Amino acid sequence: MVTNLALGTAPLGNLFQPVPGDKALAVLRGAFDAGLAHVDTAPHYGVGLAEECIGQALAAVSRSEVTVATKVGRRLFPVDPARATSAEGFVQTPSRERRWDLSRDGVRRSLDESLERMGIDRVDVLYLHDPDDHDV
């Protein structure tokens, strides 16, 4: 069961402007304290930054109190910090690049990698990110 209202976390991945880590954590903790119990994220959001932030916030609450949705379709790979990558609207992100991978194994790896970034053992909702961009 998910709540009618979710916290979208693209801004916490530095969409268009940086959000310092302590402020991002304060947003999540404030949302949890106010009773908002569903967060939506994706590896795409800040090339993993939003998922990492969610993991830090979830460490302070009971996992059963919050539902988490993430997405598959883009996998993240480390790159040389000097190498230019497509920001896709996100700023001050980790040195990673996104690669589309809609294969069965790619979807499973994407989920496993998201779980690792968030430090959790499951998500409650899993979406295919931008399915209209692909003929699947």
Residue 84: Cβ within 10 Å count: 8
SS3 10: helix
Structure tokens of 29?
A: 């903790």
Q: Where are the beta strands (DSSP E) in the chain?
A: 7-8, 38-40, 67-72, 74-78, 96-100, 125-128
Catalytic one of 12, 45, 46, 70 = 45
Instruction: Examine the residue annotation and report whether 127 is marked as an active-site residue of this protein.
Output: no
Whole-angstrom distance, CA of residue 80 vs CA of residue 36: 38
Q: Which residues pair with 123 in a beta bridge?
A: none
**Residues with a known catalytic role:** 45
